Amino acid sequence: MKVSVVGQGYVGLPLAIAAANAGHVVVGIDTNPDLVAYLDSGRSPIRDVADTFISSVLGSFYSVSTGYESIGSSDVVVICVPTPLDSSHEPDLSALTSALGSVASQLVAGTLVIIESTVAPGTTRGLVADILNRAGVGYELAYSPERIDPANKTWNVTNTPKLVAGITDSARDRALAFYSSFVSSVSFGSSVEVIETAKLLENSFRLVNISFINEVAGFCSKLGIDVREVIDAAATKPYGFMPFYPGAGVGGHCIPVDPSYLAAAARTVGAPMRFIDLANDVNLSMPSYFVGVASGMLGSLVGRKILVVGIAYKPDVADVRETPAAGLISLLRKAGALVSWHDELVGTWNGELTSPLSAGYDLAILVNPHTGTDLGLLGDTQLLNTRGGY
């Protein structure tokens, strides 16, 4: 098939390369000219996609563009643009609506459009269809939410089960055929609303449980026991329990974002999700909690040298989207601390450079240190481990 994938980030690029490897002729579209030039040189901005994966299909089954011209000759168009939260913590669909407008301007009859971006239930049938209808041609529309977990060495695009639903049975069947050509397991739902909600449920489940374990971690700290040992002990039960681990909050493109889409939709229909609201409150309070712990360890934070280790939203990625380290560093500085940070994968963030690990600090706060981060270089510096453990 001829395929256009709109968005060449953490979701769109792995999808485009997987489809190209399956023999589809894929054009990756991204409005960032620097990213397009980088990809066009055969280099990957994502650790999960090796340079060799791109170079092996570049110029044959895969090409990249800043324009939408390929839409007019595509059998399938997949939209993988970000749907984050705005400054009020409400859903921000501006990137999606912009991409849809560009797609509609080039859309031709018979094209299958698939939305992979996370949206609230009713968005595909409503907002998405309304914008695409401007094309005035007979297209088909399906929804198949992304399931990308950066740095996961076990699950990837091809072996992670895929969910699909279509506005029509024909759209569903065409989407099933497309994904089945390179994904090992594809299931479908009875409506796009079911699958839109399923996506939000997946990550709301994680948010609520992470929030709960963060509160358990605070309890264990008061008792002077290791919450990680408690979790590992509970995880010996082979049924009815799933381990979640504490931290300075949640980050990334899914867990801190998707539940708010579900909560917003729930408020619209008059069925508020109190667990999600509470879970958000707990997680957003974690940076403040750890500033309090740091104060308890050092006394006044004014003028104290503090190193935050690992500012990516999770270990072994360079992604800082929604990182809880941002709130932690901001609050520490407001308290008068002299804060530096170390992250060998991120390197540069907010106009600042990573600082070396050394023994010259009053306190080191571990947020998301990467595999291989040599904490021994901190010497006898006091450690505050936000992830639990001693």
pLDDT tens for 33-82 read 999 999 999 999 998 899 999 999 999 999 999 999 999 999 999 999 99
Q: Is the pLDDT of residue 252 over 90?
A: no
CATH topology classification for 2-190: Rossmann fold (3.40.50)
Average pLDDT over residues 300-315: 96
How do residues 332-349 score in pLDDT, each as one tens digit? 999 999 999 999 999 999
Percent with pLDDT over 90 in the chain: 93
Q: pLDDT confidence of 150, banded at 50, 70, 90?
A: confident
Average pLDDT over residues 279-304: 95
- Is 286-390 in CATH node 3.40.50.720? yes
Residue 328 has what pLDDT? 97
CA–CA distance, 205 with 278 (Å, rounded to integer): 13
Is 220 designated active site?
A: no
CA–CA distance, 232 with 230 (Å, rounded to integer): 6
Q: Is the pLDDT of residue 232 over 80?
A: yes
Residue 390 has what pLDDT? 54
**Nearest 5°: CA angle at 314, between 157 and 278?**
100
Residue 275 is given by DSSP the state H
**DSSP strand pairing (348-349 vs 338-342):** unpaired
Q: Do domains 191-284 and 286-390 have the same CATH topology?
A: yes
Residue 151 has what pLDDT? 86
Residue 202 has what pLDDT? 95
Average pLDDT over residues 255-273: 92
CA–CA distance, 320 with 44 (Å, rounded to integer): 18
Mean pLDDT across the chain, nearest whole number?
A: 95
Q: Is the pLDDT of residue 93 over 80?
A: yes
Rounded to two decimals, the pTM is 0.92
Residue 196 has what pLDDT? 98
Identify the CA nearest to 78 among candidates 149, 154, 9: 9
Average pLDDT over residues 96-108: 98
Residue 310 has what pLDDT? 97
- Is 191-284 in CATH node 3.40.50.720? yes
Q: Is the pLDDT of residue 127 over 70?
A: yes
Domain borders along the chain are: 2-190, 191-284, 286-390
From 254, 255, 276, 332, the catalytic residue: 254
Average pLDDT over residues 262-289: 93
Q: Is the pLDDT of residue 209 over 70?
A: yes
Q: pLDDT confidence of 83, banded at 50, 70, 90?
A: very high
- Using N-to-C axis directions, what is the helix angle for 258-268 and 192-223, rounded to 10°? 120
Asked if residues 17 and 53 have their Cβ atoms less than 8 Å apart, the reply is yes
Tokens describing residue 90: 């409400």
Q: pLDDT confidence of 254, banded at 50, 70, 90?
A: confident
Average pLDDT over residues 227-253: 94
